[in-house]
């Protein structure tokens, strides 16, 4: 298994162990996988805080209800 020591700016270092040799395709999959992993970690760390997407939807929904009263057009 290929292993790489990675230096992470402002974070220290990490050891990366892959099941296959490092290629451009593997780097692409790794990039996507790390993005998903970091997203999940962020959500876990702020589990007690509402998701920003949920807050945005609630705000939008509340605004839609306040603006759905019938409007009269004079023409």
- pLDDT single digits (tens) 29-72: 999 999 999 889 888 887 777 677 777 877 888 777 665 555 55
Residue extents of the structural domains in the chain: 3-66
CA dist 18 → 6, 30, 35, 39, 58 (Å): 13, 9, 16, 21, 42
* pTM of model > 0.85: no
> What would the two tokens of residue 61 be?
């929904």
- Position 73 pLDDT exceeds 80: no
CA dist 41 → 20, 37, 61, 67 (Å): 25, 6, 28, 37
């Amino acid at each position: 298994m290929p292993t790489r020591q990675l230096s992470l700016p402002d974070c220290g270092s990490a050891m990366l162990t892959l099941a296959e040799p490092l290629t451009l395709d593997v780097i692409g999959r790794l990039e996507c996988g790390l993005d998903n992993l970091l997203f999940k970690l962020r959500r876990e760390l702020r589990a007690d805080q509402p998701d920003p997407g949920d807050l945005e939807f609630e705000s939008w929904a509340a605004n839609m209800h306040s603006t759905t009263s019938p409007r009269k057009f004079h023409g």
